[in-house]
Amino acid sequence: METKKYVYLFNEGNANMKNLLGGKGANLAEMMNLGIPVPEGFTLSTEACTKYYEDDKKLSEEAITQTYEALAKVEKVTGKKFGSVDNPLLVSVRSGARVSMPGMMDTILNLGLNDETVEGLNKLTNNERFAYDSYRRFIQMFSDVVMGIEKRKFEDILDEVKALKGAKFDNELTSSDLKEVVNKYKALYKMEMEKDFPQDPKEQLLEAVTAVFRSWDNPRAIVYRRLNDIPREWGTAVNVQSMVFGNMGETSGTGVAFTRNPATGENLIFGEYLINAQGEDVVAGIRTPHPISRLEQDLPQCYKQFMEISEKLEKHYKDMQDMEFTIEQGKLYFLQTRNGKRTAQAALKIAVDLVEEGLITKEEAILKVDPKQLDSLLHPSFDQKELENTEVIAKGLPASPGAACGKVYFTAETAKDHHEQGEKVILVRLETSPEDIEGMVAAEGILTARGGMTSHAAVVARGMGTCCIAGCADLKIDEEAKTFKLSGKLYKEGDYISLDGSTGNVYGQAIKTTENEIGGHFKAFMVWADEIRKLKVRTNADTPRDAEHAVKFGAEGIGLCRTEHMFFDEERIPAVREMIVSKTELQRRKALDKLLPMQREDFIGIYEAMEDRPVTIRLLDPPLHEFLPQVDEDIRDLAEEMELNFEELKATVESLHEFNPMMGHRGCRLPVSYPEIAEMQTRAVIEAAIDVKKRKGYNIVPEIMIPLVGEVKELKFVKNIVVTIAEEVIAKEGIDLKYLVGTMIEIPRAALTADEIAKEAEFFSFGTNDLTQMTFGFSRDDAGKFLEDYYDNKIYEFDPFQKLDQTGVGKLVKMAAELGKQTRPDIHLGICGEHGGDPSSIEFCHNVGLDYVSCSPYRVPVARLAAAQAQVKNYRK
Ligand code: PEP
Ligand code: MG
């Protein structure tokens, strides 16, 4: 059997081998091919990582053998030898996944040093101080990064020796001081690990490689992967590279540089370096690095070569590069290059500039901006300096992006009142319900203890563009006392906190926020995205205000108007409640008559905001008990208000109680029992459309959507009510009005029988919130509580309420789309669940042939870009 290749010398790879060699490894290989000076080395592939996990976290024999073979080749080329006292080879060991990934083990330098080779290094460089400084750094890094011994313990030793010798800075320590440090470090290692510090360089190397593979699965890496759609199966590669030293005197140095400014995108080299230093000194911030332009004076030859290479790299990769370099005694080496991380503003400017410079096409430019990054342009953000110095007191789900700072209030009412008095408020609730809407509107940010990414708080906050952190499990609220405790501190009503809805971080004090500006590049760039994409982008909006916002962000229609949100308005809720507590159809109709004009006004406002764009309006969906108070005190108040008997009202509330309301009397099941509700809503939809058509001349084609259908006869029953009323109104008004009747596909049975359903439905809209809930059998409001355990045990990697589960739920979507088209080839297909704003789910929707995605207003630009990227990646006619 042929042995599998797990190890590649740098000269065996190229930039196209990222999947196998990781980004860093592939780029090192590519630089070597380009003739750029790169220290020799090799890469253990991502397949070696996968194999390590397959083999129960053990490095395979093949990988070990091949590592030693590669090492021998590097020794040959460099003329140095691993473990040699005369001419020791030292290496760095660095992780490198397909995409750069914080959270994993990063770098170990100077590997190969031991009590003997350190003397070899001393002789070779004639610099004892340098040799022992390198050794003590290596022991610290190896102990901390590979073995997990706390870094602080080493720093304490160093501080101790410094104090003893009266040295202020590290570089004031003499070689004999450093020898002392080395001895103390080794003693600490022995105490912690109950064995000596490994002296065999090969053992050091295998330990370090294993540590990189292990770090692929540490908790920070897992969280990062979940937030950035990186599958676990990719694995990471490991790069082993011979060391070059930037700390060998005044003609040596090390630095990092970007070919353009990563904060603004300005086309000017941007970088820093330190003379006589190793990489970590630049990062640690102990000495202040010089701007790269100073290198022209310090080492003009190196500067010239550096500038030539960086230009070559940018042209070659057709993107802004982030490079690391080291100069060893006047000779320049590149240690890394990659497409640099950048702010959203910079990303847009660079993409547009590169097209204008003729370096890339518009299609290529579209792929250079991360859609999720656009979020940060549309929302306020924190002052970075302040943020860095502020402690995170808790973490929840990053439910709606943005930065918010304000005083804490625990009820919607108090939040609203204090907002009206001019305060900035943060609404803190166990969970929110539709009754909290006014408090949510007033709040800068919303923090809930419970609920997932499709909880009420999350969905509504995203819709409004308000920052929200949901499911903050550590948050223990005492509603009576109006306090909560976090990180051991008690917070009272009126105390300041700050929320970062993009990370889920909660801060226990005020932090300054700044509004971001949407520059001219945004517009130019989005025009290209719109030209390219095939998917239309609609919005989920329930008010004219949200609709207007969404149109500004580029929405091409409304894909979901949740009419129940209109029923919670202070003026309407009495009539809604009157309808619910009615004993007879007649009473119910009387109450509905009161709601009709209000509902009609709602729709008029929305049609006017949307002008000629399509509008999908969904009939009432939630279970009716949501509109009634639940606790005795509130029921008593309401009974008084409605002039009803408390006992009777309580009995009504109890009769509406359901054990599992999300699977209860809701959606199309309501009009099956009470057709008059659907009648009133249809009347309002059609009358409003006729009114706006007559007054404004817009060509409005209302799309009436029937929710929670699972059986075609059920749909037919409700559709019949809708069509009867619509025809009656149209005939009475004597106007030609086209309208559509369709359904949501959000129950697995509807997806399974979509060919039947399509006989009655003129369009499908995939309600993937409910479809996910019902396919997994996970409650969308409670899953957050136990999903963490699923991540920890590697059962699921992602929250299926955020990122569509393509294997299961996606299969239903794909099948229903195909079945629907079989029956009705021109059936219009869209998605209105929260996944409609998630880039990877949008790509899926594009691939299965949906016509549009619909998402909350602030995610419309994200969706436009994601849709364009889907088209560039998967061309669709
Ligand atoms: C859905 O279920 O995906 C949907 C959009 O409806 P709602 O979230 O209102 O249940
Ligand atoms: Mg639903």
Do 13 and 73 fall into the same domain?
yes
Quick one: residue 361, left, alpha or beta (phi over 0 = left, psi -120 to 50 = alpha)?
beta
Pocket test for ligand 1, best of 621, 668, 778, 850 (most atoms within 8 A of CB): 621
CA of 626 to the centre of ligand 2 (A): 15
**Which atom of ligand 1 is least distant from the CA of 707?**
6
Confidence band (pLDDT; 50, 70, 90) for 264? confident
pLDDT of residue 461: 86
Q: With cut-offs at 50, 70 and 90, classify the pLDDT of residue 19.
A: very high
Q: Which atom of ligand 1 is nearest to the CA of 621?
A: 9
pLDDT at 870: 98
Q: Has 767 been labeled as part of a binding site?
A: yes
- Nearest listed ligand to the Cα of residue 620: 1
Take atom 1 of ligand 1 and give the residue whose Cα is closest. Answer: 767
C-alpha dist (Å) from residue 854 to 323, 437, 693: 40, 22, 24
Same domain, yes or no, for 222 and 254? no
Instruction: Specify the CATH number for the domain of residue 470.
Output: 3.50.30.10
706 Cα to the center of ligand 2, angstroms: 10
Please indicate, yes or no, whether residues 279 and 178 belong to a single structural domain of this protein: no
Please list, in sequence order, all residues whose beta carbon lies within 8 angstroms of the beta carbon of residue 3, skipping any fewer than 6 positions away: 62
Atom of ligand 1 nearest to the CA of 768: 3
**Residues 703, 618 share a domain:** yes
Find out whether 414 and 516 touch, Cβ atoms under 8 Å.
no
Res 338 pLDDT > 70: yes
Whether 348 is covered by a domain: the verdict is no
On whether both 250 and 303 belong to a single domain, the answer is yes
Q: What residues form DSSP beta bridges with 606?
A: none
Q: Which residue has the tokens 């510090």?
A: 197
Quick one: pLDDT band at residue 433, thresholds 50, 70, 90?
confident
- Other CB atoms closer than 10 Å to residue 359's CB: what's the count? 15
677 and 824 within one domain = yes
**pLDDT exceeds 80 at position 279:** no
Is 768 annotated to bind a ligand? Reply is: yes
Locate all alpha helices (DSSP H) within 806-847, ordered by sequence.
Answer: 809-823, 839-847
Residue whose pair of structure tokens reads 């969905």 in the numeric block: 459
Residue ID of nearest Cα to ligand 1 atom 8: 769
The answer to the question of whether 417 is labelled as a binding residue is no
562 annotated as belonging to a binding site for a ligand:
yes
C-alpha–C-alpha distance, residues 643 and 631, integer Å: 18
CA of 707 relative to ligand 2 center, distance in Å = 7
How far does the centroid of ligand 2 lie from the alpha carbon of residue 831, in Å? 11
Mutation test residue for ligand 1: of 560, 669, 813, the one with most atoms within 8 Å of CB: 560
Angle at 172 between CA 169 and CA 174, to 5 degrees: 140
Q: Tell me the average pLDDT of the chain.
A: 93
Catalytic residue selected from 379, 418, 419, 456: 456
Classify 197 as helix, strand or coil: coil
Which residue lies with its CA nearest to atom 9 of ligand 1?
Answer: 562
Q: How far is the CA of 629 from the centre of ligand 2 (A)?
A: 23
**Is residue 105 one of the residues assigned to a domain?**
yes
Test site for ligand 1: of 744, 813, 831, 835, most ligand atoms within 8 A of the Cβ: 744
Neighbouring residues of 854: CB distance < 8 A, sequence distance ≥ 6: 537, 538, 539, 540, 557, 558, 559, 560, 616, 765, 830, 831, 832, 836
Q: Is 405 a catalytic residue?
A: no
* Same structural domain, 306 and 278: yes
Cα torsion 64, 70, 74, 75: sign: positive
Q: Which domain holds residue 782?
A: 533-623+658-873
pLDDT (tens digit, 9 = 90+) per residue, 667-701? 999 999 999 999 999 999 999 999 999 999 999 99
Between strands 253-258 and 536-540, the pairing is unpaired
Distances (CA, A) of 173 to 108, 140, 160, 276: 23, 17, 12, 15
Ligand 1 pocket mutation pick from 561, 662, 769 by most atoms within 8 angstroms of CB: 769
Structure tokens at 848: 């299965």
Q: Give dist(CA 24, CA 327) in Å, integer.
A: 19
Domain boundary among 286, 321, 342: 342
283: pLDDT confidence band, cut at 50, 70 and 90?
low
pLDDT at 280 over 70: no
Residues 542 and 606 in one domain: yes
SS3 state at 41:
strand
How many alpha carbons lie under 13 Å from residue 874 in its C-beta half-sphere?
14
Q: Which two tokens stand for residue 766?
A: 């995939």
Question: What percentage of the chain carries pLDDT values higher than 70?
Answer: 98
Q: What's the gap between Cα 199 and its chain centre?
A: 43
**Tokens at 367, concatenated:** 């792929």
Starting from the CA of residue 853, give the closest ligand: 1
Instruction: State which amino acid sits at residue 505.
Output: N
DSSP 623: -
Give the total number of structural domains in the chain: 4
Token representation of residue 577: 């409640």
- Predicted local distance difference test score (pLDDT) of residue 464: 78
Per-residue pLDDT reduced to its tens digit, 630-668: 889 889 988 898 888 999 999 989 999 999 989 999 999
Q: What is the residue type of 365? A: A
- The answer on whether 782 is annotated among ligand-binding residues is no
The helix/strand/coil state of 710 is: coil
For residue 235, the model assigns a pLDDT of: 95
- Average pLDDT of span 271-286: 73
**645 belongs to a structural domain:** no
Within this chain, do residues 394 and 444 fall inside the same structural domain, yes or no?
yes
Q: Which residue in 491, 515, 516, 490 sits closest to 426, CA to CA?
A: 491
Of the residues 405, 561, 832, 845, only one is catalytic, namely 832
Is 835 an active-site residue? no
Residues 607 and 755 placed together within one structural domain of the fold: yes
CATH code of the domain covering residue 312? 3.30.470.20
Between 223 and 281, where is the model more confident?
223
Q: How far is the CA of 744 from the centre of ligand 1 (A)?
A: 9
The whole-angstrom separation of Cα 875 and Cα 872 is 6
What CATH number is attached to the domain comprising 557?
3.20.20.60
Q: How far apart are CA 111 and CA 243, in angstroms?
A: 9
Confidence check: pLDDT of 867 > 60? yes
pLDDT at 781: 85
Q: Which two tokens stand for residue 35?
A: 């003739």
Of 383, 389, 397, the closest CA to residue 431 belongs to 397
User: 770: annotated binding-site residue?
Assistant: yes
Q: Which residues of 268-301 are buried (b: 16+ CB within 10 A; e: fewer)?
A: ebbbbbbbbbbbebbeeeeeebbebeebeeebee
Does 371 reside within a domain?
no
CATH number at residue 25: 3.30.1490.20
126 is in an annotated binding site: no
- Whether 747 and 773 have beta carbons less than 8 Å apart is answered as no
Pocket of ligand 1 (CB under 6 A): 560, 562, 621, 746, 767-770, 832-833
Same domain for 288 and 228: no
pLDDT band at 428 (very low <50, low <70, confident <90, very high): very high
Closest ligand 1 atom to residue 773 Cα is: 2
Same structural domain, 53 and 180: yes
Q: Report CA(650)–ligand 2 centroid distance (Å).
A: 28
- Closest ligand to C-alpha of residue 454 is 1
* Cα–ligand 2 centroid distance for 708 (angstroms): 7
Query: What is the residue type of 114?
Result: N
3-state secondary structure of 747: coil
Give the number of the atom of ligand 1 that is nearest the alpha carbon of residue 769.
Answer: 3
Q: From atom 6 of ligand 1, which residue's Cα is the shortest distance away? A: 767
Report pLDDT for 263.
80
Whether 294 maps to a domain, the answer reads yes
